[in-house]
Amino acid sequence: MTLPTDRSDVAADTVRGGPRRRRVRAQVRGVPLPLLVPALIGLAFLVLPLIALLVRAPWRSLPELLTSAEVWQALRLSLVCATAATAVTLVVGVPLAWLLARVEFPGRGLLRALVTLPLVLPPVVGGVALLMALGRNGIVGKSLDSWFGVTLPFTTAGVVVAEAFVAMPFLVISVEGTLRAADPRYEEAAATLGASRFTAFRRVTLPLIAPGIAAGAVLAWARALGEFGATITFAGNFPGRTQTMPLAVYLALQSDPEAAIALSLVLLAVSVAVLAGLRDRWMTAG
Amino acid sequence: MTRTARRTGRPMQVAALGVTALLALSSCSSSDDSSSTKSDSSASASAKLSGTVTVFAAASLKESFTTLGKEFEKAHPGTKVTFSFGGSDSLAASITGGAPADVFASASPKTMAIVTDAGDASGTPATFVHNQLEIATLPGNPDKISSLKDLTRSSLKVVLCDKTVPCGAAAQKALDAGKLKLTPVSYEQDVKAALTKVELKEADAAVVYKTDVHAAGDKVEGVEFPESADAINDYPIVQLKDAQNTEAAKAFIALVRSAEGQKVLTEAGFLQP
């Protein structure tokens, strides 16, 4: 549950990007103690729980715990759903970010606040809200059910919806920040050369903000992978269909803490690998 | 240009932090105030019981224990009963992890064993009630569910508790007793979550405790089934070794086991041991 805040820090960091990091590295020798000490305490606070997980891991029984069919089922579902949720956020999130960054309209500030709301909203609240909207008895879900016979709760699609709901703000914020940093004169130049606004977006803006989109997509993917509250509230828990890794971890903790630690390790390893592997390639470019 | 984006982001984060900090502070100070003034006044009024009793209890005990807590506070002015309701297993895990609690009431002997095996209990746990399963259906029972077997119909969305929590284990036992195979749409993390899915009409039925159906009032309808007799849950209660307030903890357990306490519990749908 501490993960979302960690990740919002990461989000802020990517907006600032690489140059600042390089500057810090150059000045590291002159860091004043009143800054260094709290900084190190902060670092220890974030890293210590992860170290504890490694220390307490049941290394000897790990291979056995991790080769069970349920673990792979949950991991595969997690990866598939997080990727699908990221695709959804890309399709609707990039245009939304463009709207927020490039178009002046009344109420834009309020809209931006609403878009970022899932960042601070407890995921369980998000899950409840999704049930009220898209549940079988929800304000939209009711029509979905009676017109198309589609119900989202308890389905894999429901997991994707829940994950996309909490992950979308990460992409929108990242892309909007990059868009604001990008010079609009390129688009204007394209327009003077006869390109329509959509062509200019497709041919000029999109390649220009690609690194920001990639960074946002990675963050959204990582957030979706770790999503728990909204998923268990909205999509329920059924192995192979809606039981993602975080749900498996939570329920394993009820009866088999060792298995829960082992599952947590897998999720941790996957998250770290993705964030570390993609960070240098994409995230510093913005 | 990035700066504007940052500037809009930061005050919001700061404000959110500030609000949570304020809330945390105010809730701390208010509870401190009330408990200290109460214990002061009780020192002069009744010499015996004072202070706070912290009770960790299974989620299914929420309604009846809340009532008993109020009765206890009324009977012993100056005392305060605070509850932590949750899944028995996670409560047991937090107790063995060092959570400050005086009394533990669990929904199954198995979860109680986690606490006693860790040496965190003082004395032997006593069974104070039984609970029986019931099927919770939508109000008016539109799907005409009359037996456990009816739940195996493929057109129905049924939720069960996960097998790792007591209500799920009991449901599995009942299904085994009836030689039935049931594929639910979800294994929920606790009995209240399972019931909620029916209350919200997302599921057509759930196998939950009789007491939960009772507590939900008109929002669900209960259907009894004979196989539930094979899956009766014992609820044990025990005083914890690290209890801060042993006298009050003893008194609370005595109230739960007294005729008065049993009356509250049976009214909520529990069975007497």
Which residues of chain A neighbour B89 with C-beta distances below 8 Å? Answer: 253-255
Calculate the average pLDDT of chain A.
85
| B226 and B137 belong to one structural domain | yes
Q: Is B12 in contact with A237 (Cβ distance < 8 A)?
A: no
pTM of the model: 0.74
| B226 and B239 belong to one structural domain | no
pLDDT per residue as tens digits for the range A145-192: 889 888 899 999 999 999 999 999 999 999 999 999 988 888 889 989
More confident position, B200 or B9? B200
Residues 148-177 of B with CB under 8 A from A: 157, 159, 162, 164-165
In a domain, B28, yes or no: no
| B103 and B138 belong to one structural domain | no
- Confirm or reject contact between B189 and chain A (CB < 8 A): yes
pLDDT at site A280: 63
Q: Is B202 in contact with A180 (Cβ distance < 8 A)?
A: no
Lowest-pLDDT choice from A27-31, A270-274, B14-18: B14-18
Q: Is B162 in contact with A237 (Cβ distance < 8 A)?
A: yes
Binding residues of B for molybdate: 60, 88, 191, 209
Q: Is A180 in contact with B4 (Cβ distance < 8 A)?
A: yes
- Structural domain containing residue B143: 133-230
In a domain, B12, yes or no: no
| B112 and B246 belong to one structural domain | yes
Residues 202-241 of B with CB under 8 A from A: 202-203
pLDDT at site A44: 95
| B248 and B209 belong to one structural domain | no
pLDDT at site A66: 80
Q: Is A113 in contact with B12 (Cβ distance < 8 A)?
A: yes
Domains and CATH numbers, chain A: 86-242 (1.10.3720.10)
In a domain, B272, yes or no: no
Q: Is B1 in contact with A181 (Cβ distance < 8 A)?
A: yes
- Quote helix, strand, coil % in chain A, to nearest 5: 80, 0, 20
Question: Can you tell me the distance from the alpha carbon of A144 to that of A149, in angstroms, rounded to the nearest whole number?
Answer: 6
| B126 and B179 belong to one structural domain | no
Q: How many domains does chain B have?
A: 2
Residue A283 — φ and ψ, nearest 5°? -80, -25
Q: How confident is the model at residue B39 (pLDDT cuts 50, 70, 90)?
A: very low
For range B63-91, the mean pLDDT: 91
| B216 and B84 belong to one structural domain | no
| B211 and B164 belong to one structural domain | yes
For residue B47, pLDDT over 90 is answered with: no
In a domain, B66, yes or no: yes
Q: Is B189 in contact with A251 (Cβ distance < 8 A)?
A: yes
Residues of A with CB under 8 A from a CB of B: 8, 12, 15-16, 109, 112-113, 116, 120, 131, 135-137, 153-154, 173, 176-177, 180-182, 232, 235-239, 242-243, 250-257
State the smallest CA–CA distance between residue A177 and chain B in angstroms: 6
| B79 and B103 belong to one structural domain | yes
In a domain, B27, yes or no: no
Q: Beta strand pairing status for B158-161 and B205-209?
A: parallel
- Confirm or reject contact between B187 and chain A (CB < 8 A): yes
CATH classification of the domain holding B83 = 3.40.190.10
Q: How confident is the model at residue B36 (pLDDT cuts 50, 70, 90)?
A: very low
CB A239 within 8 A of CB A73: yes
- Confirm or reject contact between B2 and chain A (CB < 8 A): yes
| B57 and B88 belong to one structural domain | yes
CB A119 within 8 A of CB A170: yes
* Residue B213, H or E segment: helix B210-216
Q: How confident is the model at residue B93 (pLDDT cuts 50, 70, 90)?
A: confident
For residue B156, pLDDT over 70 is answered with: yes
In a domain, B36, yes or no: no
For range B199-208, the mean pLDDT: 94
In a domain, B3, yes or no: no
| B90 and B110 belong to one structural domain | yes
| B174 and B226 belong to one structural domain | yes
CATH classification of the domain holding B185 = 3.40.190.120
Lowest-pLDDT choice from A4-8, B126-130, B205-209: A4-8
Of residues A109, A180, A236, nearest to B159 (C-beta): A236
In a domain, B6, yes or no: no
**A199-208 — which CB contacts under 8 Å span 24+ positions?**
A201/A98, A205/A98, A205/A179, A208/A182
Q: How confident is the model at residue B83 (pLDDT cuts 50, 70, 90)?
A: very high
Question: Can you tell me the distance from the alpha carbon of A217 to that of A89, in angstroms, rounded to the nearest whole number?
Answer: 8
Q: Is A15 in contact with B4 (Cβ distance < 8 A)?
A: no
For range A27-36, the mean pLDDT: 81
Of residues B9, B185, B193, nearest to A154 (C-beta): B185
pLDDT per residue as tens digits for the range B210-262: 998 998 999 999 999 999 998 898 999 999 998 989 999 999 999 999 999 99
Which residues of chain A neighbour B202 with C-beta distances below 8 Å? Answer: 131, 135-137, 153-154
Q: Is the ipTM of this complex over 0.95?
A: no
Rounded percentage of chain A residues whose pLDDT exceeds 70: 87
More confident position, A73 or B6? A73
